[in-house]
């Protein structure tokens, strides 16, 4: 029988059998997948686990703080935070191709992470020759879409599967590999992970880097973060968080259009709202959000983010569109 309790029991046993008494590292992103994976591993091997949070500078407003405070408060897990924002920005300079961005972010992520993992082992005063394991919150749809499943096509390099470098020095622990998102949430609740984390909407590993169409720069990130925060606030205020799967806000950084704001002509950028409903992200439909909510989001973004003078709505299903624009 499939029950969250059975999944926890099976995975705890499997994790213990796999890692023995060795040290385990987990890349925590703040999302439900890595949080539930970490909670499972902590239940299995306790203090053998250290979570590493790589702040790649591509996060939304308030996200780093949420990981540092909420998750640690709830679980008491060992956490190491690495601020690598400058490094990622340098690596992404001049890059506009979506797959190249994904590969760069995946590569830099694993390098920063490997460095952090070495430090964790050193700080624990252990031998660097010791086998180390890496926990990843890979779900079944990630496996399928990255070409790992049967009959799969490679659609995008999800950075936690297909984008890993060949010289990866960790053995992977992937306790969520057979699960869909709703099952992961049930397992999270079973483990006592707080509802705020369990019900968090998905957010891609490469973060805002794949929601800026064009080159990723610090200034563009700031613009997108501001617009995204408005959209999230209004959707939450309208009580829509559980009705929609997620609502990417996408900055068309190389597109400009003429507007009139205040007393004068503007020549600003559009953002796209991409609200979708979905069961498992394999397919999705665009969400029919109430017009008044859309109107509030649009008004607030154009009133508070001066670089943005137009808000547009994406009314494409998946397929043919993917959920993210890159």
* H/E segment holding residue 172: strand 171-173
Considering the complex, state which of residue 217 and residue 322 has its C-beta at the smaller distance from ligand XMP: 322
By CB under 6 A, residue 160 contacts ligand XMP: yes
From the list 243, 232, 237, 241, the residue with the least C-alpha distance to 271 is: 232
By CB under 6 A, residue 67 contacts ligand XMP: no
Tell me if 31 sits within 8 A of 57, measured CB to CB. no
Tally of CA atoms within 13 A in the half-sphere of 38 that contains its CB:
29
Minimum distance, C-beta of residue 138 to ligand XMP, in the bound complex (Å): 8
Minimum distance, C-beta of residue 317 to ligand XMP, in the bound complex (Å): 11
Tell me if 118 sits within 8 A of 130, measured CB to CB. no
Minimum distance, C-beta of residue 28 to ligand XMP, in the bound complex (Å): 13
By CB under 6 A, residue 156 contacts ligand XMP: yes
Q: Is 34 labelled as part of a ligand binding site?
A: yes
- The site string for ligand XMP over 105-144 (x = CB under 6 A, - otherwise) reads ----------------------------------------
Minimum distance, C-beta of residue 35 to ligand XMP, in the bound complex (Å): 13
DSSP-derived pairing of the beta strands 257-261 and 264-273: antiparallel
Tell me if 52 sits within 8 A of 82, measured CB to CB. yes
Size of site (CB under 6 A) for ligand XMP: 14
Interface region with ligand XMP, contact rule CB under 6 A, candidates 20-28, 36-44, 184-192, 316-324: 316-324
By CB under 6 A, residue 285 contacts ligand XMP: no
Q: Is 277 labelled as part of a ligand binding site?
A: no
Tell me if 135 sits within 8 A of 177, measured CB to CB. no
8-state DSSP, 69: I
By CB under 6 A, residue 314 contacts ligand XMP: no
From the list 293, 261, 288, 262, the residue with the least C-alpha distance to 275 is: 288
Q: Is 35 labelled as part of a ligand binding site?
A: yes
Separation CA 239–CA 241 (nearest Å): 6
Q: Is 30 labelled as part of a ligand binding site?
A: yes
Separation CA 63–CA 66 (nearest Å): 5
Minimum distance, C-beta of residue 316 to ligand XMP, in the bound complex (Å): 11
Site for ligand XMP in 188-227 (CB under 6 A): 202, 204-206
The two structure tokens encoding residue 38: 């970490």
By CB under 6 A, residue 159 contacts ligand XMP: yes
State the Cα angle at 106 between 283 and 49, rounded to 5°. 95
By CB under 6 A, residue 57 contacts ligand XMP: no
- Among 11, 42, 246, 298, which residue sits at the site for ligand XMP (rule: CB under 6 A)? 246
Separation CA 196–CA 67 (nearest Å): 11
- Residues of the binding site for ATP: 29-35
Residues in contact with ligand XMP by CB under 6 A are 156, 158-160, 202, 204-206, 246, 281, 318, 322-324
């Amino acid at each position: 029988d499939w029950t969250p309790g059975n999944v926890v029991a099976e995975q705890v046993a499997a994790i213990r059998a796999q890692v023995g008494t060795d040290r385990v590292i987990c890349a925590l992103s703040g999302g439900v997948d890595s949080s539930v994976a970490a909670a499972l591993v902590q239940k299995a091997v306790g203090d053998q686990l250290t979570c590493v949070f790589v702040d790649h500078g591509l996060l939304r407003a308030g996200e780093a703080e949420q990981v540092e405070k909420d998750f640690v408060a709830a679980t008491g897990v060992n956490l190491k935070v690495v601020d690598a924002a400058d490094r990622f920005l340098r690596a992404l300079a001049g890059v506009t191709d979506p797959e190249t961005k994904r590969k760069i972010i995946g590569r830099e992520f694993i390098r920063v992470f490997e460095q952090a993992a070495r430090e964790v082992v050193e700080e624990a005063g252990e031998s660097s020759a010791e086998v180390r394991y890496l926990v990843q919150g890979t779900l079944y749809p990630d496996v399928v879409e990255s070409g790992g499943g049967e009959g799969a096509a490679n659609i995008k390099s999800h950075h936690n599967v297909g984008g890993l470098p060949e010289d990866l020095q960790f053995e992977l622990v992937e306790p969520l590999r057979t699960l869909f998102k709703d099952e992961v949430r049930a397992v999270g609740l079973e483990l006592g992970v707080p509802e705020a984390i369990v019900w968090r909407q998905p957010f891609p590993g490469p973060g805002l880097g794949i929601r800026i169409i064009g080159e990723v720069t610090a200034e563009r990130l700031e613009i997108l973060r501001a617009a995204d925060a408005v959209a999230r606030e209004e959707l939450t205020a309208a009580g829509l968080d559980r009705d929609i799967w997620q609502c990417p806000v996408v900055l068309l950084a190389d597109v400009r259009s003429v507007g009139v704001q205040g007393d004068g002509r503007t020549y600003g950028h559009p953002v796209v709202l991409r609200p979708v409903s979905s069961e498992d992200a394999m397919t999705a439909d665009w969400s029919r959000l109430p017009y008044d909510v859309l109107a509030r989001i649009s008004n607030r973004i154009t009133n508070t983010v001066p670089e943005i003078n137009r808000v547009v709505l994406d009314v494409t299903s998946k397929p043919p569109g993917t959920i993210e624009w890159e």
